[in-house]
Amino acid sequence: MEDLIGRVLGNRYEIVEKIGAGGMAVVYKARCRLLNRYVAVKVLRTDTEMTDDFIKRFKVEAQSAGSLSHPNIVSIYDVGNEGNINYIVMEYVEGYTLKEVVAKSDRLTWRASVRIAAQICAGLEHAHKNHIIHRDIKSQNILVTSELMAKVTDFGIARASSNSTITITGNTIGSVHYFSPEQAKGQHTDEKSDIYSLGIVMYEMLLGRVPLDADTPVSVALKQIQEVPIPPAQLDSEIPTSVSDIVMKALQKEPRLRYQTATEMLKDLNTVLENPNNVVITESNMGATTVMSSVNENMINDRANKPVVVEDDENMGRKKKKNSAGTVFLAFLCSLIIAVLAFVGVRTFIGNILGPEKAEVPMPNLIGKTLTEAQVELEELNILVKKINYQESDEVKKNTVIIQYPVANITVRENVKIAELTVSLGKTETIVPNVINYSLEEAKEKLENEQLRYSVAEEANSEVPKGYIVRQNPTENYEVSVGSIIELYVSSGPEEKQVSVPKLVGATESAAKALIKDAGLTYGITTYETDSTKSNGIVLSQSISHGKLVPEGKVIDIVVNKKENSNPEPDEPKVSTQKIYLNLKNKGVAGKEFTVRIEMSGGGVTGKQTIYEEKHTREDKELLLDVSGNGLAMLEVYIDGKLDSSQQINFK
């Protein structure tokens, strides 16, 4: 078959790499150019004989599976052909087959086994309700993600086979271990056949091996028809009896004694997860001796020479052809003998590689730990790292483990390269958040959460409170690289009025103070220096040069010239205090209040100043008052507003 890597199918699916192959098809990883996502493309082999009916059935089955939509079923997206290439496009699942998971882990815990079985059962329930029978349930056809999400794949491919013969491939060797008794006999299969195969898969998860095995595929087929497996609970005491009973009911030889629907089995699986000791499995003659029709290898070989006819559901209810449909598988089993030597050789080869059995340890939980922490922990447990993958993550910090294989608590062998870790690259691109009208601290936190840096500048704004973001650059919703700098402009409050500083140098001290006040500025302090070349008492310098714009109310300091030999300014007159006496006996009207007001002029006051005003009565008799001033002063006494007397005082 030609190599398709690099080719584009349907002008849409670009083949990237080969990820699997079987007897009938090759599976590729491809990129859908339309939706920019990875898909899996299954291409029918062109190196095998295919009739038109074979291709037609392949497409019909693909379209039938495409009608299914369930989280535990690999989705079918498209089906097409290009020249002699027939292909199916399906969901690409990042993970491993259940066969690989069991092989690497030796066996799964009973809880993990039941959880995975319940998911497979849920997928089968959906398919059966849509009248689609899988017919090839096996651990190789179950994909498991690192989160233990199980997805059933390869729906319907088993039915897309030639009318006249069955092609024998290496993959079929594995399938015979999962065949139901009715499949081994070549009889009609229905939903209960899928349930039997699921029972085998569940047995394999619990014990690490299939229940029935033999040296040749023919012998395995005979065991499927005749031999009852040993219940899992008898082989491992840690497996609850209820779990073992579910498996054994699914593995009943007679279809009528099995679970009749996937819904029935799913109900028991979910119940046993909640409480393994509170489940009673309907007996359905479990443990009773069943008389089977005698089948032996000679009978199979005798039938091998008869014509082969594959039974099709479309022919159900119609008159059958003379040749029994049961001979299909019998011929197939005989053909498998040719391939069994290769199978044995492969087993021997694997045994040589594995070598002596190694100690086992539980896989630790590494999710959320840094890569360094994970590597140290694995090294301490003697678990070797097979591969480290990296992927972007919007949620997880850089160098943090986000996916691990095997998952936690799975038993693994020491000193075997098995661990695969997927590590977060963090974000490479991010969206700028809106921080306008946020406080500076809130804005910083939002930007740091998006792994962005920032610069800060202030600008006046009368509408945005001081300390809050006025504007940003780039604006919100702009896509930038992680680590980019976002410019933040923080409000410094309303814009201050600017005034010009007046020229103070050369003015007297008192004039300078007046100029400062008139300009809307604030006078600060005056210091004195001596400059013999300048007039005494004038301003020598000012703290802010004249003509400069400063906020209104800014403080201005001045330096004033004070000559040492200059005539001292005259001393201000000394203030003294004298007592005055006033007789109140004959003032006013007897028995009534009257007002005494004393006014002073001179004595260091400007104009006339009231120095005393109170109400009195004649009973007060006299008034003794302290009066302060300097020089000569005139006192006038008023009774109820009328001048009563006056006197001159000389303050010494």
| Cα(190)–Cα(135) distance, integer angstroms | 8
Contact 126, 67 (CB under 8 A): no
**451 vs 448: CA distance, rounded Å:** 5
Beta strand 485-491 pairing with 453-459: parallel
Residue type, 86: N
CA nearest to 409, candidates 143, 117, 152, 106: 106
Scanning the structure block, which residue is given the tokens 């974000």? 427
Question: Of 335, 342, 135, 345, nearest to 218 (Cα)?
Answer: 335
Do the beta carbons of residue 148 and residue 109 sit within 8 Å? no
Q: How far apart are CA 593 and CA 637, in angstroms?
A: 16
Q: Determine which one of 52, 78, 136, 571 is catalytic.
A: 136
Cα 311 to the chain's mean position, in Å?
Answer: 51
The span from the first CA to the last CA of the chain, in angstroms, equals 133
136 is catalytic: yes
Distance CA 158, CA 65 (A): 12
510 Cβ contact list (under 8 Å, min separation 6): none
Q: What single-letter DSSP state applies at residue 421?
A: E
Distance CA 649, CA 631 (A): 8
Both tokens assigned to 147 = 């989160």
**What gap in Å lies between CA 225 and CA 187, rounded to an integer?**
12
Number of Cβ within 10 Å of residue 429's Cβ equals 11
- Closest C-alpha to 7, from 63, 79, 87, 77: 87
Give the tokens for residue 2.
């030609």
* Nearest of 129, 176, 136 to residue 157 by alpha carbon: 136
Alpha-carbon 319 to chain mean position: 60
Q: Is 221 in contact with 300 (CB distance < 8 Å)? A: yes
Where on the phi/psi map is residue 546: left (φ > 0), alpha (ψ -120 to 50), or beta? beta
Number of H helices and number of E strands within the chain? 15, 30
Phi-psi domain of 173 (left: phi exceeds 0; alpha: psi -120 through 50; beta: other): alpha
**Burial class of residue 253 (count of CB atoms within 10 Å of its CB; 0-12, 13-18, 19+):** middle
Q: How far apart are CA 111 and CA 597, in angstroms?
A: 108
Q: With helix as H, strand as E and coil as C, how does 115-169 read?
A: HHHHHHHHHHHHHHHCCCCCCCCCHHHEEECCCCCEEECCCCHHHCCCCCCCCCC
- Contact criterion met (CB below 8 Å) for 339 and 168: yes
CB 114 within 8 A of CB 245: no
How far lies 32's CA from each of 19, 266, 560, in Å? 16, 35, 87
**CB of 477 closer than 8 Å to CB of 435:** no
Positions marked catalytic: 136
